[in-house]
Amino acid sequence: MNFIKFIRFLVFFSILGQYSFVSGLPIDSIWNRFTTKYGNNFIVRWNERTNTPHKLYGEGIILKPSGFTKSSEVIEEVNSFMEENSYFFNINLKDLKIDRVDSLNADEWYITYKQYYHNLLVLGSKVAFTVNKNGKIVSMGVDYFPNINIPVEPKISLETAINIIERKIGTIAKSGVKKAILCIFPIVLENVIDYHIVWDFLITWQDRITDSQKSKRFLLDANTGETLRENDLIFHGNWTIDGHVMGVIRPEYRYDSPDCRLFPFEKLVITLDPGYYHIFYTNINGYFVDQGYTSQATNQLEIKLAGYFISEMWKKWFDAIPPWIHNAPIASHFYTFSSTGTHHYDYTWSADEGLQEEEAINAYWHITKIGKIIMDDPFWYYGAGYPIKVWVSEYDGESLYYNPTTEELWFTHYYGYHWALSSDCIYHEYGHHIIWNVYGKDFIGGANPNSQSRAMEEGFPDYLACTINDDALSGEDVPIPGHLPRNLNNSLMYPYNMINEAHHDGQIIGGALWDLRTYVGKYIGDYLFLKAMRIVPQPVDFFEYLENALIADDDNANLSDGTPHDPEILHAFKNHGITLTNYLPHPYNLHTTLVAADKIYLAWDRFPYGEDGFVVQRWTQETGWQDLQPTPYLWYHDENLQPAKTYQYRVVAYKGSLRSGPSNTITVQTIWAPYDLFINPIIYSGTLLYWTDYLSDEDGFKIEKKVGSGSYTVVHTTGPNETSWYDDDIEPYYNQQVYYRVRAFIGNYDSDTSNAVVFTPPGIFSDTLSAIDYYHSSRNLFRDNNGNYHLILKHHNRLWWTKSTDNGQTWSLTRNLAWTGPEMPSVVVTSTGLPCFVWQEKTGTAPNFVYELVYAYIDAQGNIHKTTLLDNAN
């Protein structure tokens, strides 16, 4: 893509919240200095208030040509790059601390820094770089506040701040405080940035009225006590023993027939001597094995409904008598075995103990399934691969949710619908856990989420549930009017169908992801889904996410030449009103037909994206790539091509001065004539033609033949890629010159002819001629050390010897040995092309002579061949 310089200002109304775009440019001297060094194929989002590049991507900037193998190298080079270009980023490196270093299988690194002012974290600050293994920066962004100047000593103590929060929420909060730090909170107003020193709280408590868990984030002004931000954090939504652990689960829907499955990664505990125990896990196939020794007579194996992805599984239920509400862990299963010998034990979790146990078993299996999927190809994400606590409750309410502050999943009931029996619900809520960790244990929109980021919070988990179940409907087995099911195979459009309700609005971004999965396939769709979230700066709205999807798809850290799937990506998001004005999808499926020997027909496909038209580009060895005439159509005729020449073609879309990346490249060869035609006679009644084929896409070859001074006519047509033909029709033309030539053809169009070759079929000469009579016992054709050919006749043990010095074209008597009798030697008539001879050989003794028809010839390489064709008894 030939990028125009496309730069937009961000005017923030509140940090990382809603913003509008205003056209403009950074200071020319700064921009020119940067682009002079690194080129100008960049797309930039410029923050007018802080004078920093909020996001910059396009052409990759090389940090280290030899690439990277470990994160420490990446960090060192990124630090040097920031220091060298601090004038452009408008940052002070002393204020930055590394917040996160994430890696995609050592193929790509995501480095994020946070800003600190007098050792206090500046909320909303972020300096981020995505660097690939080839040493290129593929995306970067700066949200840095360079002009902070406020006192950092709070007037309100932490204890006072907690008391304020307690009065606000109506309960004792001290025990539920999960985080309390002093921070700097910038609020961007219309013309100025207002900085506050705040207490940042994460608090979890139990609501006395609903007996439901609450979790919120508060930003409390540390000087005035005013609540500046309040966000709800609940996402709705010598012995040996071996064996297997299994469980009865619902494969997808709550009404599915129960099915027994192996339980992988389940936690097992063996109690040995008092106070000593051993923890291990089942493997991916639900199999376990352990061995050891102990001083006691028996050992105890405990099988927990917990494992790699679930730390504890608890249940909540109600009684009609105090204390009414009960909490307890799902009971483990125990098996006692002796401390000697070999033991095998299989256990199956089932719902014999009650409905909550059935829900817990189902939740365990599906959470383990999605946890393993996220850590494998194509997601390769390990950031959430640690165990969390799961609750199943008989409380009949609408809520199921993920609480990030306590790392807990809650599954309740809804008028008979059991959330934990529905895999869609389980995958969706665990999806919140994944996304919370991908975004650094924070909301997608940070301290102040917007309507699009809230929609992403729900749309992303919906996509995750749908792609795992390979089903565009989410929650169809637990319908709740206005909430479930949600359908990602939809036509909802931004902004027209946004209603500011996250679950509904999430279907817009979820629908775009489902369309993309449909276009590019599940594997690539899933890969791009998570990678686009992980690339930093991380997206906080639909449009930034679309940009990151393109960066994730890019295969050479250079968006100027497009990405492998940009037509599909842009088309999928356009279906839902999410478009970019600074990028065009490349045409695809370029194909061609040769419609004449000097004319090519080109055609291609495209996803409509408001382009003005297309430019066909042609390459030859002499000119390189050149633009041909622009066209508004999806086809083009290229005429007046030279014969026997190689051309390459590709197509780009354009809109004004903006260009897409190129389509696929195709190579076209105008028709080449076959060459190096030569013949070898095989027997006296036929001849074999050989030629060299230059093309691989011709339809076949036409063999033309003429006799003497006659005209050429087509005598045979071959299929494609054939390089020989045998002509058995030469007997009528003995001792006449026969000419051949060959043409390639495509459709009705023929190439030029090959070189012509000529061959004279020989006559047959018999030993019964009176000039030689039957006393001659043999003839032989051979070549001497000087390259001359000789025909030798043997007669009564004496020789007649003739010689050719021009490769068999003419012959002369070279030696006449002593002889008796009236016979005179006779020279065999020869070909005027390749020398070849046919004669009768007489062997045996009178009267039982044997006559054999003998054929000899000299091939194009000068080799002599001699064959007996026929045996005739006297």
Return the CA Rg of the chain. 43
pLDDT-derived band at 763 (thresholds 50, 70, 90) equals: very low
Task: Round the average pLDDT of the chain to a whole number and report it.
Answer: 82
Cis-peptide into 537, omega within 30 deg: yes
Most trustworthy range by pLDDT among 8-22, 449-463, 477-491, 731-745: 449-463
**Count of all residues that appear for the chain in the document:** 874
Q: Which among 507, 503, 552, 506 has a CA at the least distance from the CA of 529? A: 552
- pLDDT score, position 873: 32
Alpha-carbon 530 to chain mean position: 13
What CATH class is the domain 158-233? alpha beta
Check residue 789 and give its pLDDT. Answer: 58
- The lowest-confidence range among 132-136, 737-741, 864-868 is 864-868
Quote the pLDDT of residue 646. Answer: 86
Q: pLDDT tens across 103-123, in order?
A: 877 788 999 999 999 999 999
| CATH number for the domain formed by residue range(s) 675-759 | 2.60.40.10
Q: Between residues 320 and 123, which one has the greater pLDDT?
A: 123
Whether 42 shows a pLDDT value over 80: the answer reads yes
- Would you kindly state where each structural domain of the chain is located, as residue ranges? 6-148, 158-233, 588-669, 675-759, 773-873
Distance CA(246)–CA(260), nearest Å, equals 7
Helices 451-469, 423-438: axis angle to 10 degrees equals 130
Say what the pLDDT of residue 828 is.
39
What are residue 123's phi and psi, to 5 degrees? -65, 140
Residue 81 near residue 137 (C-beta atoms within 8 A): yes
* Residues 563 and 58: beta-carbon distance below 8 Å: no
- What number is the average pLDDT over the span 798-819? 52
Cα 840 to its chain centre, rounded Å, is 72
Return the ∠ at Cα 576 (arms to 571 and 581), rounded to 5°: 60
* 784 or 24, greater pLDDT: 784
Q: Would you state the pLDDT for residue 586?
A: 92
Element (H, E) at 776: strand 776-783
pLDDT at 829: 37
| pLDDT score for 107 | 83
Query: Is pLDDT at 14 greater than 60 in this prediction?
Result: no
850 pLDDT higher than 60: yes
Nearest to 207, CA basis, from 19, 17, 395? 395
Instruction: Give the pLDDT confidence of 60-94 residue by residue, as tens digits.
Output: 899 998 888 888 999 999 999 999 999 999 999 99
Q: How confident is the model at residue 795 (pLDDT cuts 50, 70, 90)?
A: very low
Residues 830-841: pLDDT tens digits?
334 445 555 555
In contact, 462 and 484? CB cutoff 8 Å: no
Q: What is the pLDDT of residue 822?
A: 36
**How far apart are alpha carbons 697 and 688 in whole angstroms?**
24
Other beta carbons within 10 angstroms of residue 827's beta carbon come to 15
| pLDDT tens digits, one per residue of 663-714 | 999 988 787 778 788 776 555 557 888 888 876 677 899 999 999 889 999 9
Q: Alpha carbon of 831 to those of 234, 420, 689, 807: distances in Å? A: 100, 95, 17, 10
The residues near 861 (Cβ < 8 Å, ≥ 6 apart) are none
User: Predicted confidence band at 782 (pLDDT cuts at 50, 70, 90)?
Assistant: low
Shared fold status for 158-233 and 588-669:
no
The residues, any chain, with a CB within 8 Å of residue 790's CB and separated by 6 or more, are: 781, 782, 783, 784, 801, 802, 803, 804, 814
Report the pLDDT value the prediction gives residue 13, as an integer from 0 to 100: 27
Cβ-Cβ contacts under 8 Å for 161 (sequence gap 6 or more)? 180, 199, 201, 220, 222, 225
- Residues above pLDDT 70, as percent of the chain: 78
Which range, 11-20, 181-190, 547-556, has the best average confidence (pLDDT)? 547-556
> What pLDDT shows up at residue 862?
59
- pLDDT category of residue 772 using cuts at 50, 70 and 90: very low
pLDDT single digits (tens) 197-228: 999 988 877 665 555 667 888 999 999 999 99
Give 382 or 199, the one with higher predicted confidence: 199
Instruction: Phi first, then psi: give them for residue 548, nearest 5 degrees.
Output: -70, -30
| List of residues 6+ apart from 462 with CB closer than 8 A | 428, 431, 474, 486, 488, 506, 507, 510
pLDDT number for residue 501: 93
Mean pLDDT is highest, among 20-34, 410-424, 529-543, 630-644, for: 529-543
Average pLDDT over every residue of 785-804 = 53
Residue-wise pLDDT for 606-651, tens only, equals 989 999 999 999 999 999 999 998 999 999 999 888 877 889 999 9
- Tell me: pLDDT of 97 over 50: yes
Q: Which residues pair with 248 in a beta bridge?
A: 260
Classified by CATH at the fold level, domain 588-669 comes out as: Immunoglobulin-like (2.60.40)
Question: Per residue in 158-180, pLDDT tens?
Answer: 999 988 888 887 766 566 777 78
| Average of per-residue pLDDT across 427-453 | 91
Q: Do 638 and 716 touch, CB atoms closer than 8 A?
A: no
Rounded to an integer, what distance in angstroms lies between the CA atom of residue 454 and that of residue 475? 19
**pLDDT value at position 781?**
59
Residue 739, CA distances (Å) to 679, 728, 758 in order: 10, 14, 4
The band of 155, judged by pLDDT with boundaries at 50, 70 and 90, is: very high
Which helix (H) or strand (E) covers residue 678, if one does?
Answer: strand 675-683
- CA-CA distance, 21 to 47, in Å (whole number)? 10
Stronger pLDDT, 736 or 815, i.e. the higher one: 736
In contact, 704 and 752? CB cutoff 8 Å: no
DSSP symbols for 180-228: EEEEEEEEE-SS-EEEEEEEEEEEEEE-TTT--EEEEEEEEETTT--EE
Q: What is the pLDDT, as a whole number, of residue 775?
A: 41
Q: Are 582 and 6 in contact (CB under 8 A)?
A: yes
